Structure 1
Amino acid sequence: MQLQWLNDVLVLLEEGNMSRAAARRNITQPAFSRRIRGFEDWLGVTILDRRTNRVEISEALSSNEDEIRALIRRLGELRTKIAQFAPTRTTVEIAAQHAPIFSTFPDMALRARRAFPGLQFRIRAGNLNDCVSMFLRGDTGMLLCYEAERVGPLAFGPDVRRGRWGTDYLIPVIGGALRYTVRDTGDIPADTPAIVYPEDSYFGQVLSRNERAFGTSGFSANPFSVTAFSSGLRELALKGLGVGWLPFSMAHREIESGALISLAHRYGQEPLEVAIYADRRAEMTQTLMTLWAAEGGGQPG
């Protein structure tokens, strides 16, 4: 099997047309067709229906487009690792939600580098579902995420070990000129603009389930912006564009300086755990789990 065949197939899926796909690959259509046949011969399955006037791509191929992309990426990374191998260097790949990348990972990385000076990290950011998929596919050896206490930990098999870095809280904050709308009681006007999370995001699901005001569009009278990126939400809140919910670890400096005001005493807070998951079969991930769980105050599972 040749890597170029996978790239050919991916371009074909993107274009949905043999002529356009061949043009993107800078080869003639007959040559492109021969390469697709080579892939079919290796696969032992026909992926194109050539019996009609137009070529049709089989559903078996199109339904696995994400897996093909992941395989191409992993093969490319493997080639790079072999070509640039250094015996004293170890790289750990981590799938991580955007929020803990900003709020907790820098401290985790510093502690890991003190213990293992040659250690390198590759972070793959995404929403929780994407991160879980990357971890389960084996694209990464570790998963870093927030977990709401009311929801509980993710369910993985016995080959996955769970550790806890620490605890956090999801709190509502307000900044900019909107700070001056906060009343002595801690209330803010019901029509205050809100920077909300999508309801299908992890934080959105947590806030919506508990009917938290200003958390999602369904519980906000005036949603100004919808974003799943907590770091972007923080910047919008600092500019006074709306009230939004943030992990306390991402907002505590701004709260201490007065740039943001916490509304947790009036609108509540959501307890979070910073969870780490690792493949038990990888030695370095297990070593890091033990280090982080011990220093973070949690217990490895």
Structure 2
Amino acid sequence: MKIEWIEDFLVLIEVGTFSQAAERRHVTQPAFSRRIRQLEEWLGVELIDRSAQRLTLTPHAQAHEASLREWLAHLYAMRSRIRADSSQGPRAILTTQHTLTVSYLPRLLRHFRQHASQARLKIQSADRSDCIRDFQRGKADLFLCSELEGSPLYSDSDSIERVELGGEMLIPVCATDRAGHPLFKPQIDTSLPLIGYSHDSFLGEVLTSPYMMDLQRNYDVDLVCETAFTIGIREMALAGMGVGWLPHGLIEGDLEAGKLISLIEILGGPALVVCCYRHSQQVNASADAFWQLMSEAPPSV
């Protein structure tokens, strides 16, 4: 089987006719048709319904078109990685949770680019639990994460190193009215709409006690949404849907612009720490360069 046969088939789907596809692929139409036949013979199924007047895919082709595209994309990506590793050396892989990808990571990457431009880095953004799993399985060299202050993830492991990059608050916020006042101010006799975190999420666990317990004990709380996605909570807060706790680094610009207002003096909020972990015994020059930069003078959180 030749990769060009898969490419031919996908181009045929895109343009809709054998003649246009052959022209796009810079071959004659008979040669192009032959390559499609060869792909069908290799797969053992027909991909094109040749009894139809217009180009029509068979059920087999329709069912597996997405898989063929995904397979080809993965193959090209693997080729790029192999070529890059061969010419430039291996990259360090940094895994981090989605919130930090938006808030702190851009500043950290600018710092890396300025001080270690030759070191190579690949970012993997995922849910915090997935990041932990990948780091523990050795699929990532560096793990950038948020922790509750005083509760490090790995506190008793000789094989894992930790560097603290800075702290930030988890702040209760809501949108403002035209006068710049909170749309929702916690009061005993009024309902308080809450945009909450899922109980099984990291921030949901952080807020459970005492913040959520105190909130539900002291106010008439209306849970309008429950999600693990911090970015979604920010968008809903900006839309005036309710009150939600968000990391300061994520909403700093919104607070300065007056789009969101802090309610921390009324509701309080936990202190978080942004830190990075690595395995002590790893051997990766790029990861070492990034670790050194984070240990010396990282950008502020």
Answer whether TM exceeds 0.5 for this pair: yes
> Residues 126-184 of structure 1: CA distance to partner in whole angstroms, max 9, x if unpaired?
2222111011111111101100014334346322211011111101000155954445x
Match of 2:274 in 1: 274
2:171–2:248 contact (8 Å) kept in structure 1 = yes
- Structure 2's unaligned 5+ residue stretches are 1-41, 46-73
2:121–2:286 contact (8 Å) kept in structure 1 = no
Q: State the SS of the aligned residue for 2:154.
A: coil
Equivalent residue runs for 1:60-99 within 5 Å: 80-88=80-88, 91-99=91-99
| Counterpart-to-counterpart distance in 2, 1:200 and 1:116 | 38
Q: State the SS of the aligned residue for 1:174.
A: strand
Match of 1:287 in 2: 289
| Counterpart-to-counterpart distance in 2, 1:76 and 1:190 | 58
2:258 aligned with 1:255 = no
Identify the range of structure 1 (158-167 vs 194-203) with the bigger mean alpha-carbon deviation: 158-167
Q: Which runs of 4+ in 1 moved over 4 A?
A: 25-28, 74-80, 176-180, 186-190, 213-216
Match of 2:126 in 1: 126
Q: State the SS of the aligned residue for 1:87.
A: helix
| Counterpart-to-counterpart distance in 2, 1:250 and 1:229 | 12
> Residues 97-153 of structure 1: CA distance to partner in whole angstroms, max 9, x if unpaired?
111111111111001111122344322222222111011111111101100014334
Q: 1:86 to 1:278 in 2, by over 3 A?
A: same
Cα deviation, residue 256, structure 1: 1.5
> Residues 51-91 of structure 1: CA distance to partner in whole angstroms, max 9, x if unpaired?
xxxxxxxxxxxxxxxxxxxxxxx999766532343533653
| Counterpart-to-counterpart distance in 1, 2:253 and 2:175 | 13
| Counterpart-to-counterpart distance in 1, 2:99 and 2:232 | 10
> Residues 205-264 of structure 1: CA distance to partner in whole angstroms, max 9, x if unpaired?
010132436989xx9821111221212211111111111110011112211221101000
What is the aligned-residue identity percentage?
A: 26
Which amino acid in structure 2 is aligned with residue 127 of structure 1?
Answer: D
Match of 1:246 in 2: 246
| Counterpart-to-counterpart distance in 1, 2:164 and 2:241 | 34
Which of 1 and 2 has greater Rg?
Answer: 2
Task: Normalising by structure 1, report the TM-score.
Answer: 0.65
2:115 aligned with 1:115 = yes
The count of aligned residue pairs is 226
Equivalent residue runs for 1:173-188 within 5 Å: 173-177=173-177, 179-183=181-185, 187=187
Match of 2:234 in 1: 234
Cα deviation, residue 193, structure 1: 1.7
| Counterpart-to-counterpart distance in 1, 2:252 and 2:187 | 20
Which amino acid in structure 2 is aligned with residue 142 of structure 1?
Answer: L
Identify the range of structure 1 (288-297 vs 78-87) with the bigger mean alpha-carbon deviation: 78-87
Q: State the SS of the aligned residue for 1:192.
A: strand
- Structure 1's unaligned 5+ residue stretches are 1-24, 29-73
Which amino acid in structure 2 is aligned with residue 283 of structure 1?
Answer: A
Q: 1:220 to 1:275 in 2, by over 3 A?
A: farther
Equivalent residue runs for 1:209-228 within 5 Å: 209-212=209-212, 221-228=221-228
Task: Normalising by structure 2, report the TM-score.
Answer: 0.65
2:169–2:271 contact (8 Å) kept in structure 1 = yes
